[in-house]
Chain A
Amino acid sequence: MTDASTAAMQALKIAWRRMARHQRHQRSYWASIFGVTLLMAWVSLAITFGFEWVSRIPPQSGSSPDFASLAAHNARQLLFWFNIAQITLISYSTFENIFRRTDASLLLPLPIIPQSWFWLIFKDMWIKHVLIAITGIAVAAGIGIATGYILAISWVIGCLTIFSVQLVLSCWLHLRLGGTLYESKSDPLRAMLTQGLAATQAAYLFYSPAFAFALGAALVLFIDIVFRLVDETGSPIPWAIVTASTTLFIFLTIRSAVALFSKSFATILPRFWETETVDPFRETYLPKPPRTLVFGKLLTLNAQPFFRLYVVQMRRRYRVDGLLYIIVLLTLSMIVLRNESETVASWAYDVTWALWANIMFFYHVPRVLGRAVSANSLTWSLPVSQRTLMMAQRLAVLPAMLPVPAALAPLLLVAGYSVPLTLLGVITALTLPTLAIIWGIKIGSNPTLSPRAFHWILRTAASFMLGICAMYA
């Protein structure tokens, strides 16, 4: 068994290495140049952002604020939100990386040593998230240039601690809750938790990203307190304790995650697929067709069936998306609750957050049209022109976007902005993500594009948009 497993693992590694080499070979020279340039631009943006952020002086601070304490306050505030953003992302993306890997059905039947498989997944996950860490370090560099290395070191420790802990913690939690798929009891708590949105047996796993986020958020608060403590006392000891305890925590958690993976991943995965394949709502009900179907009447007769096709399918495929409105609402309420809304700079800051919420909300829309609800071989054999199809797809995603600017306008007005600025904010918040979506649809509709390239381009686009937002701020 061990020899066979080692041989299988070795063969797999060689195959992956060859595939990677082949992909590198396929990638054009200019694409690489473009990628590196984009990365450098992104890093420069992050450095500028860090520098500008800690140097900014809110209007209520008076004419001669204490720069050091103000900078520390700004850095702490930025660290807090940066950490929140990264735990939001990591909590969910680790789940995807563990349970929805495209190579899983190929690897599962092979006699692979579970530990080695875990490390391959973990390495892959780490590489996929490394841009977050690079961004954090770049922002810290900007802070360092503006204020000196002490604040920058604090920032970088705070950011990387959350990054590494959240990666390991999320991974462990998803595996741990994956084990609950085998508990066959169907208690009222599970039924209440899923509300027909997922299989009852997957109730805890369904909430796993949210639990990971909650744990991460507690840690973010803890880091915030430590940052404050270091700032007030000037002693680096709290950071030393944090670093040491974090290292120990990561070591123990990862060991436990490896054990969980080795023990049950091969049995969890088929059960997970089963819960995904057979919908729990099959025997109860399908969601009613959304009211946005009336927008289809704006289209030509040829485009209407495609509009219905996408609207109906998206409603069924992404039932949980309604929950994302909470993120939008939280973001918008944050805008209202902030008490420094008089300047154009802070207005830009608010719009940045609104855009961030928008992008996060609509990130998956091109993915939906490109993969999950499409059947390209069939669609392109049907009598429909590319233009008609695109119109139907665009209109199908637009109604879902309308609530965001609709909510943004009154909130900006409540926050005391002038009407032209509010209108500009709304138009920006609506236009940029729309363009991103249209671009995404265009790319997603390209039959020659590999899924890997599609995701790469999408991520780049999202990062680029975020960069623009950061520049605003």
Chain B
Amino acid sequence: MLNVIQLTKHYRHIQAVAGVSFQVAQGEMLGLIGPNGSGKTTTLRIVAGLVQPDSGDVMIGGHSMLSSPLEAKRGLGYVPQELAIYPFLTGQEFLEFVADVRQLPRDTREEQIVHLLKTMELSDAKDRLVREYSEGMARKLSICAALLGPPSVVVLDESLNGLDPQSSRKTRLLLDQCLEKGVAVILTSHILAIVEQAATKVALLHKGTVAMELDKQDLRALAQKSKSLEDVYLELVER
């Protein structure tokens, strides 16, 4: 579903990403973790088509983000780390706009929008301008927009961090529904407990490379040894 192949990216003299590769299959959620400056956001921005890599490629549903970006982006829902939202649309209009751009069928989109808004408890605010939303509400709306469709790949860059526990749980519920539908999800967060709970596999980025990959079995084995993801993370980073 999502195939990231040997990505590299320099910013002047700084090597942000140095040969990152991973795959996320249908119905899988990859938790991408790593210290600040390890290249997580750059990797995800390349995946979303916002940054051109120096080398390597990203394949979404068989389409290359470099050679056929439009086809690749049709299957992508992205929530950036910073709030990126059109401030002078209402919540409802914003989701309708995203539905229009993704060319979702008219007969199902309304139902989806209502479901997403209701789940994220934004129904009462749907007719208010987005600029009047609190940061948490705007983030929830961004997540709704990314999940609308749903697309085949959803990328969430530190998107759960600013949410209250209730909203965080509801987002995970929505993500689980997406996973059941076969969506591939990438999630980054510094709150390792969230990643541990939600992800089906974890990749640890360190100094621009994938330093460690843990699949479902590895995560289960960790739990049996009474070790947390945080322990593994700290061991590796402080080594």
B70 touches A384 (CB 8 A): yes
Q: How far is the CA of A377 from the CA of B85 in the complex (A)?
A: 9
A residues near B90, Cβ cutoff 8 Å: 286
- A381 adjacent to B86 (CB under 8 Å): no
- Verify if A279 is at the interface (C-beta below 8 Å from B): yes
- B111-154 interface bits toward A, Cβ cutoff 8 Å, 1 = contact, 0 = none: 00000000000000000110110000000001001000000000
B89 near A378 with CB under 8 A, answer: no
Q: Who on chain B is nearest to A376 by CB?
A: B84
> Contacts A383-B74, A384-B70 known; A375 to B97 CB distance under 8 Å?
no
Residue in chain B with minimal CB distance to A310:
B86
Within 8 A of B (CB), among A346-381: 372-381
Q: Which residues of B contact A (CB under 8 A)?
A: 48-50, 70-71, 73-74, 76, 78, 80, 82, 84-90, 93, 97-98, 100-103, 128-129, 131-132, 142, 145
Contact call A385/B70, Cβ cutoff below 8 A: yes
> Taking the complex as formed, is A308 at the interface, i.e. its CB lies under 8 A from any CB of chain B?
yes
Our pick among B78, B89, B101 for the contact of A313 (Cβ within 8 Å) is B89
Q: How far is the CA of A382 from the CA of B94 in the complex (A)?
A: 13
State whether A375 touches B100 (Cβ < 8 A): no
Q: State A433–B131 Cα separation when bound (angstroms).
A: 30
Measured between beta carbons, the chain B residues less than 8 angstroms from A376 are 84
CA distance A302 to B89 in the complex (A): 19
Q: How far is the CB of B116 from chain A (nearest CB, A)?
A: 16
- Contact between B88 and A378 (Cβ–Cβ < 8 Å)? no
Task: Please tell me if A304 contacts chain B, counting CB pairs below 8 Å.
Answer: yes
Residues A373 and B87 in contact, CB atoms below 8 Å apart: yes
Q: Please, how many angstroms separate the alpha-carbon atoms of A278 and B90 in the complex? A: 14
Instruction: Chain B residues near A1: list those with CB within 8 A.
Output: none
Interface residues on A, range: 20 to 34
How far apart sit A317 and B130, CA to CA, in the bound complex (Å)?
12
Q: Is A184 an interface residue when CB atoms closer than 8 A count as contact?
A: no
Interface: A305 (CB within 8 A):
yes
Report whether over half of chain B's contact residues are helix, strand or loop; otherwise say mixed: mixed
Give the docked Cα–Cα distance between A279 and B145 (Å).
24
Contact A383/B73 with A305-B101, A377-B82 known, Cβ cut-off 8 Å:
yes
Asked whether A383 lies within 8 Å of B70 as measured between CB atoms, the reply is yes
B50, A380: Cβ atoms closer than 8 Å = yes
Say yes or no: A312-B100 contact (C-beta < 8 A), given A282-B132, A377-B50, A383-B70: no
Between A and B, 26 residue pairs with Cβ closer than 8 Å are A277-B132, A279-B129, A301-B103, A305-B100, A305-B101, A308-B97, A309-B89, A309-B97, A312-B89, A313-B87, A373-B87, A373-B88, A375-B85, A375-B86, A377-B80, A377-B84, A378-B78, A378-B85, A378-B145, A379-B84, A381-B49, A381-B73, A381-B76, A382-B102, A383-B102, A385-B70
Q: How far is A379 from B50 in the complex, measured between Cα atoms in Å?
A: 9
CB within 8 Å for A279 and B132 given contacts A309-B97, A381-B73: yes
- Complex contact B80–A382 (CB within 8 A): no
Which residues of B have CB within 8 Å of A129?
A: none
Give Cα A55 to B221, complex, Å: 91
Chain A residues within 8 Å of B131, by CB:
277, 279
Taking CB atoms, residues of chain B closer than 8 Å to A314 are 88
If A277-B131, A301-B103, A304-B100 touch, does A381 touch B48 (CB 8 Å cutoff)?
Answer: yes
| A312: B residues at CB distance < 8 A | 88-89, 93
The residue of chain B having its C-beta at the shortest distance from the C-beta of A368 within the complex is: B88
State in angstroms the CA–CA spacing of A317 and B89 once bound together.
10
Whether A282 pairs with B78 at a CB distance below 8 angstroms is no
Name which residue of chain A comes closest to B45, CB basis.
Answer: A377
Given A279-B132, A380-B49, is A309 in contact with B76 using a C-beta cutoff of 8 Å?
A: no
Residue in A372, A375, A383 whose CB lies within 8 Å of B101: A383
A286, A317, A381: the one within 8 Å of B78 (CB)? A381
**Residue ID in chain A nearest B77 by CB atoms:** A381
A153 CA to B114 CA in the complex, in Å?
70
Name B127's closest neighbour in chain A (CB-CB): A286
Residues of A within 8 A of B89 (CB): 309, 312-313
* Chain A min CB distance to B91 (Å): 12
**Least Cβ–Cβ distance between B188 and chain A, in angstroms:** 15
How far apart are B51's CB and chain A's nearest CB, in angstroms? 9
Q: Judge if A394 is at the interface, Cβ distance under 8 Å.
A: no
A73, CB-defined interface residue at 8 Å: no
**Which residue from chain A places its CB closest to the CB of B128 in the assembled complex?**
A282
